[in-house]
Amino acid sequence: MLRIATVNINGIRATLRRGFGEWMAGRDADVVTLQEVRCTLADLPEDAFGGYHAVYEPGTIAGRNGVAVLARRPPAAVRTWGAEVLLRGPGERHTSTVPAQTPTLARGISRYAAEGRYVEVDLADAPLTVASLYLPKGGLPAHLQRPGRMREAPDGGAKYQRKMHFLDAFARQLRRARREARARGRDLLLTGDLNVAHTQLDVAAWRRSQQAEGFLPEERAWLDDQLSARTLVDVVRRLHPDTAGPYSWWSWLGQSYALDVGWRIDYHLATPGLARCAVRAEVDRAHAGTRLSDHAPVVVDYDV
Amino acid sequence: MLRIATVNINGIRATLRRGFGEWMAGRDADVVTLQEVRCTLADLPEDAFGGYHAVYEPGTIAGRNGVAVLARRPPAAVRTWGAEVLLRGPGERHTSTVPAQTPTLARGISRYAAEGRYVEVDLADAPLTVASLYLPKGGLPAHLQRPGRMREAPDGGAKYQRKMHFLDAFARQLRRARREARARGRDLLLTGDLNVAHTQLDVAAWRRSQQAEGFLPEERAWLDDQLSARTLVDVVRRLHPDTAGPYSWWSWLGQSYALDVGWRIDYHLATPGLARCAVRAEVDRAHAGTRLSDHAPVVVDYDV
DNA sequence: CTTATAAGG
DNA sequence: CCTTTTAAG
């Protein structure tokens, strides 16, 4: 049995203040993937990752993004999109910076290679490659940017276009990752914050969110494309085919969390063989009193 | 009897959180001058100034500087270096922006006119002009910027030079202000954060601070020049000629405040007639439990 | 509403 | 060590 969790922690220093260490100790996961670690090597607390082996791709933008994979057993291989990667063993004070293996980069992805948005590891526990992914939040296309809808200055759809370009390039990169994992005799599990909700079941206020970034038709169509070929399976949805949610993100504003007005934008997307092994999936809202971040961990047990 | 206090509040929103309102209510001052108010008109809390008439020169740099004079009675006149000034009566919700009177500007001062560093008012209570001044902190001259001394990147002495240029221009402006006050039949009281300590009595760790900005020979000489002609008198020092301190600023770092390892950089500088009226001076460290900011109020009673 | 940064202190 | 802005979420 392999327990794998994914959570966008939105700044590990803040999340540690809120009890991330205790959550890790109590959650008993074999693998935890993180998004938005948001710190440099120097700022990573020594004991941040408890008894786990940490693989961290911070990216080059200070204080932003940063994806990691924590695992009980030292990973058999580590790959990023060309960036160096930080490794730290359990209980070690020292973090070493090493060149990661690099898959063949798909067209268009290289310009996003140093942003701290993707890292994958081959687990020692099972014939399985686990990836931690953080897709851009994006923004609204120009024609939806009207004063009254937005607090921010209109950007002419720049963030939206960048996200769509990223999604396009990432789709190609993902096909490659699937192929390369298969060639290695491994299943692929893509975890993380996609910043896209798939269907009406995935957004509590779906009706009024149809012109919100993350639930735009083009974004939903993109995610649908990734899932419709059945080369990757949305594991949590497979186990909960008819429930609204379970949501994994709630706005900090107002009473969103208390009222469970959330979004399901954090996923386990697994190759079919692995997806069939998933026996239990839940979003972990049970952490004592406080939220760990604006996202909650998505925890899945795989019977491998 | 006129009680006048000056305090650098280092962000009025933070200071209000720490009980500035309670301090104002309990301190029973007739006039309070503030430095580093650090907010725009829109951010100024409606009840920030309790029962006082407020005169505020925010400057044009968002979130920085900003000097004010609070007075029980509405001031008879308000002057800045050309900037508009914000006025708010006691209990009023509304703040009005009005052109202030402008003294003749001395050579070199106009480039600093919109920084929110100087405002003066003619009190209704007494024949007295009270100014609130916030001088730049500055930095080290180039020859003292060695790695190991500084955490920050060396700037070639730019901040130091800018401060010295400001001091030079302000000395001229101050002479003018004195002259104009006298012409109006008023004493002049210059209060605020000069970011310069005068003598060894004014810096707890004076020996190791001799190469620190605020206690450099050139800065001390400048302040000495302002005081040595006896056209302005350091009121607190006059009443406490032999004591170390009383300090008005302590670093946030370490135990500086608890150990009283501070600096006296906040002053009441008065024309001689007024200075002779000062009967009591103290630095108010007595605020319940917390500090209001990194500075403490300097409170003087004038028997006018 | 929250997390970062950077500059200023 | 603390407060602010700014950008991002």
pLDDT at position B40, please? 81
Rounded to an integer, what distance in angstroms lies between the CA atom of residue A238 and that of residue A236?
5
Average pLDDT, chain B: 93
Residue A287 exposed, middle or buried by CB count within 10 Å (0-12, 13-18, 19+): middle
Q: No. of H helices and E strands in chain B?
A: 6, 14
Contacts of B123 (CB under 8 A, 6+ apart): B2, B31, B71, B73, B75, B76, B129, B130
pLDDT at position A149, please? 57
How many CA atoms are closer than 13 Å to the CA of B126, on its beta-carbon side?
20
- A137 CB below 7 A from strand D atoms: yes
- B252 CB below 7 A from strand D atoms: yes
Encoded tokens for B169: 């221009």
CA of A283 to C1' of C2 (A): 21
Q: Given pLDDT bands bounded at 50, 70 and 90, which one contains residue B7? A: very high
Residue type, A87: L
A250: helix, coil or strand?
coil
pLDDT at position B222, please? 98
The phi and psi torsions of B34 (rounded to 5 degrees) equal -120, 145
Rounded to an integer, what distance in angstroms lies between the CA atom of residue A171 and that of residue A207?
27
Task: Render pLDDT for B219-276 as a digit per residue (tens, 0 to 9).
Answer: 999 999 999 989 999 999 999 999 999 999 999 999 999 999 999 999 999 999 999 9
Strand C contacts in A 238-257 (CB under 7 A):
252-254
pLDDT at position B147, please? 64
pLDDT at position B159, please? 94
Which residue's C-alpha is at the least distance from the C1' of C2?
A252
CA of B120 to C1' of C3 (A): 40
* CB-proximal positions of chain D, under 7 Å: 1-6, 8-9
- B19 CB below 7 A from strand D atoms: no
The phi and psi torsions of A288 (rounded to 5 degrees) equal -50, 105
Question: What does the DSSP 8-state code read for residue A39?
Answer: -
Strand partners, A49: none
- A14 CB below 7 A from strand C atoms: yes
Which residue's C-alpha is at the least distance from the C1' of C9?
B137
- Which among B252, B228, B234, B204 is positioned nearest to B298, based on CA atoms? B234
Strand C contacts in A 97-156 (CB under 7 A):
none
B237: helix, coil or strand?
helix
Whole-angstrom CA distances from B196 to A185, B199, B218, B258 are 71, 10, 10, 22
pLDDT at B284 over 70: yes
Q: Given pLDDT bands bounded at 50, 70 and 90, which one contains residue B163? A: very high
CA of A162 to C1' of C2 (A): 24
pLDDT at position A100, please? 83
B277: helix, coil or strand?
coil
Which residue's C-alpha is at the least distance from the C1' of C4?
A63
Q: Given pLDDT bands bounded at 50, 70 and 90, which one contains residue B97? A: confident
- B157 CB below 7 A from strand D atoms: no
Task: Render pLDDT for A180-199 as a digit per residue (tens, 0 to 9).
Answer: 999 999 999 999 999 999 99
CA of A269 to C1' of C6 (A): 38
- Which among B239, B244, B247 is positioned nearest to B303, based on CA atoms? B239
- A141 CB below 7 A from strand D atoms: no
One DSSP character per residue, A95-128 reads -EEEEPB-PPPPTT-GGGTTSS-EEEEE-SSSSE
Fold observed for domain A2-302: Deoxyribonuclease I; Chain A (3.60.10)
Whole-angstrom CA distances from A129 to A23, A99, A114, A190 are 24, 18, 21, 8
pLDDT at position A146, please? 75
Average pLDDT estimate for B93-111? 88
Rounded to an integer, what distance in angstroms lies between the CA atom of residue B227 and that of residue B221?
10
Domain boundaries, chain A: 2-302
pLDDT at position B184, please? 97
Residue reference for tokens 């810096």:
B203
Residue-by-residue pLDDT tens, chain A, 304 positions: 999 999 999 999 999 999 999 999 999 999 999 999 999 866 777 778 888 999 999 999 999 999 999 999 999 999 999 888 999 888 787 788 887 889 999 999 999 999 999 999 999 999 999 999 999 999 999 999 876 555 667 888 999 999 999 999 999 999 999 999 999 999 999 999 999 999 999 999 999 999 999 999 999 999 999 999 899 999 999 999 999 999 999 999 999 999 999 999 999 999 999 999 999 999 999 877 789 999 999 999 999 9
Rounded to an integer, what distance in angstroms lies between the CA atom of residue A238 and that of residue A277?
11
pLDDT at position B93, please? 74
- A19 CB below 7 A from strand C atoms: no
Instruction: Please report, in angstroms and rounded to a whole number, the separation of the first and last CA atoms in chain A.
Output: 6
Which residue's C-alpha is at the least distance from the C1' of C5?
A63
CA of A145 to C1' of C8 (A): 35
Task: Render pLDDT for B115-147 as a digit per residue (tens, 0 to 9).
Answer: 999 999 999 999 999 999 999 999 999 999 876
- B137 CB below 7 A from strand C atoms: yes
